[in-house]
Amino acid sequence: MEQQQIIRQLKENHSSFITYIHSLSNEEFLFSLNGKWSAGQQLDHICRSVKPLTQIAIVPKFIIRLLFGKANRQSIPYEELIKKYLLKLETGGRASGRFIPKVIHPDEKEKLTTALSKFVERLTSAISNFSEEELDTLILPHPLLGKITIREMLYFTIYHAEHHLAIIKRDLATGK
């Protein structure tokens, strides 16, 4: 996926996520299937995941290189990265530390969806300042996937919103 398609997919997937969250009643927003995260917590988790990427994307590129280094391999394709992520989840990988959501109440829905929209807008704006080469040579740490290229981190971020939206829909359908 090239830069402009990445930007488009980031916007589309997060917009779909936010639109669905807005469609939920307070009861659905709070619903938790067997102690799993509620839709509100899924929203908080996505915000917690996108925010640091947004913050690092605006840092001068030479600092990113100094902090995290350069790739010693090519970026892997989108589908391959998703397979790698799903395998990590299958073998017990879970969110940890600052990525674990707190309890979220319905009155926080608007604040969090607005924040997520702003994070995605800032992120996509910042990405447009990266060359295709920089997306493939600069790396960032991912808690489950290790050091991955910025392009791969963006692939993950595209999929991540889709993944959590599917979980919300599945849990709500199962719980009815």
Domain count, the chain: 1
Residue 116, classed as helix, strand or coil, is helix
Alpha-carbon distance of 18 to 27, in angstroms, equals 17
Whole-prediction pTM: 0.95
Of 132, 168, 149, 138, residue with least CA distance to 64: 138
For residue 93, give the CATH number of its domain: 1.20.120.450
pLDDT tens-digit map of 124-133:
999 999 999 9
pLDDT tens-digit map of 39-98:
999 999 999 999 999 999 999 999 999 999 999 999 999 999 999 999 999 999 999 899
> Is-contact 45 95, C-beta < 8 A?
yes
Alpha-carbon distance of 40 to 30, in angstroms, equals 6
pLDDT tens-digit map of 134-158:
999 999 999 999 999 999 999 999 9
Mean pLDDT of the chain: 96
> Is-contact 42 24, C-beta < 8 A?
no
Residue 142, classed as helix, strand or coil, is strand
- The boundaries of the domain holding residue 77 are 3-175
Question: Residue 51 has what DSSP assignment?
Answer: H
